[in-house]
Amino acid sequence: MAILVNNDTKLCVSGITGREGTFHTLNNKNYGTNVVSGVTPGKGGQDVEGIPVFNTFHDAVEKTGANTAMIFVPPRFAADSILEAEDAGISLIIAITEGIPAHDELRVYNHLATNPNVRLVGPNCPGILSPGKANVGIIPASFFSEGNVGVVSRSGTLTYQIGNELAQAGFGNSSIVGIGGDPVPGSSFIDIIAEFEADPETELIVMAGEIGGSAEEEAAEFINANVTKPVVAYIAGFTAPPGKTMGHAGAIVSGSAGTAKAKQEALEANGVRVGRTPTEVAQIAAEIAGSLKTA
């Protein structure tokens, strides 16, 4: 199974002809992802190592049946590209681009919310990897193998760190989903955890949050009410000073809101165990997995 990206994924990459776009597209393709097309306005008719390039998403969808989009264009063009993908009927849009203006994200989020047939993951995210099936984005697939732990995270490298520790503890992954570090992520922890809950392959869920916003607190309540599978959490940013943006546009403690401590407390109050370090997360996961096997 896995969630969101898998063997049915037909990927179209916006910005495929850019340096980074080409590099990661081919990387994804080499992993086995079915990359069917790309979009670069004005370069329609060209190809990138055999992958056909179109001027518009509408052309790409019509001619290659793309159902998933990866957005790799610079920030000033990204919102438009996401809206175009949605308009063309793409059902899953994964936006890697970092630095999209917050008001663009707001507009995109609210517009996409009127279409129940589309999901946006990101922006400012590393993408989604379903080991053994498909990789869409920039997650280094070699660290991860197939398995039963679903990972959802606001941070890329932190995901790799935790994933690596899990791998060393003997765990593989159903899917690894980066939801991104921006103020208005297209998908929340709740959205992805709900997918993992419904995914038969996933037995354990790891979520890696960080300071800023209230997505972790909302997820905590959602988990308590709706999730039957065990969830282990990690929160980064306990020592972050208030009012400072810690790299991710969304990682900022505003006044007393969005602190790591508040998030940890909310999670624990709702029965979610929180690891103090990435290593501890892996240890807790191992412990729970052990008890699952005994049960």
Partner 1 sequence: MDLLEYQGKQLFARHGVPVPSGSPATTVEEAVKAADEIGYPCVVKAQVQIGGRGKAGGIKVAKDRQEAETHSKAILGMDIKGHTVHEVWIEAASDIAAEYYASIVFDRSAKRPLVMLSTQGGMDIEEVAENDPDALVRLHVDPLLGFQDFHARRLAFEAGVDADVVRPLGALLTKLYDAFIKEEAMLVEVNPLIVTADRQVAALDAKVTLDDNSLFRHPDNASLRNVAAEDEQEQMARERGLTFVKLDGNVGILGNGAGLVMSTLDVVAQAGGSAANFLDAGGGSKAEAITSAVEVILSNPNVTAVLFNIFGGITRCDEVARGLIEAFDQIKPTVPFVVRLDGTNDVEGRKLLADANLPNVHTESTMLGAAKKVVELAG
Q: How far is the C-alpha of 163 from the C-alpha of 151, rounded, in Å?
A: 8
- How many Cα atoms within 13 Å fall on the side-chain side of residue 279? 0
Q: How far apart are CA 80 and CA 108, in angstroms?
A: 9
CB of 48 vs partner 1, minimal distance in Å: 19
What stretch of H or E contains 173?
Answer: strand 173-178
Nearest of 110, 161, 192 to residue 277 by alpha carbon: 161
The footprint of partner 1 on this chain (CB under 8 A) covers a number of residues equal to 76
**Which residue is catalytic, options 24, 58, 111, 248?**
248
Longest dimension (CA), the chain: 59
- Site membership for partner 1, residue 72 (CB under 8 A): no
11 touches partner 1 by CB under 8 A: no
Name the strand (E) or helix (H) holding 166: helix 156-168
Q: Confirm whether 24 is a catalytic residue.
A: no
Nearer to partner 1, 77 or 201 (CB): 77
Strands 92-95 and 119-121: parallel
Using the rule CB under 8 A, is 38 a contact of partner 1?
Answer: no
CB of 123 to partner 1, least distance (A): 10
Residue 156 in the binding site for partner 1 (CB under 8 A): yes
CB closer to partner 1 out of 66 and 199: 66
Please tell me whether residue 110 binds partner 1 under the rule CB under 8 A.
yes
Residues 113-142 that bind partner 1 (CB under 8 A): 113, 126, 138-140
CA atoms of 1 and 19, how far apart (whole Å): 32
Contact stretch for partner 1 (CB under 8 A) within 104-112, 198-206, 220-228, 264-272: 104-112
Which string of DSSP letters, residue by residue, matches 23-75?
Answer: HHHHHHHHHT--EEEEE-TT-TT-EETTEEEESSHHHHHHHH---EEEE-S-H
43 annotated to a ligand binding site: yes
273 carries a ligand binding annotation: no
Residues from 213 through 252 that contact partner 1 (CB under 8 A):
213-215, 218, 234, 236-241, 244-251
Nearer Cβ to partner 1 (227/246): 246
Q: Which stretch binds partner 1 (CB under 8 A): 65-73, 83-91, 223-231, 285-293?
A: 83-91
CB of 80 to partner 1, least distance (A): 5
Closest CB 74 distance from partner 1, rounded Å: 10
Contact between residue 28 and residue 136 where contact means Cβ atoms under 8 Å apart = yes
| Residue of 247, 241, 236 lying closest to 276 (CA atoms) | 236
- Active-site annotation, residues: 248
**Residues at the annotated binding site for CoA?**
17-20, 43, 96-98
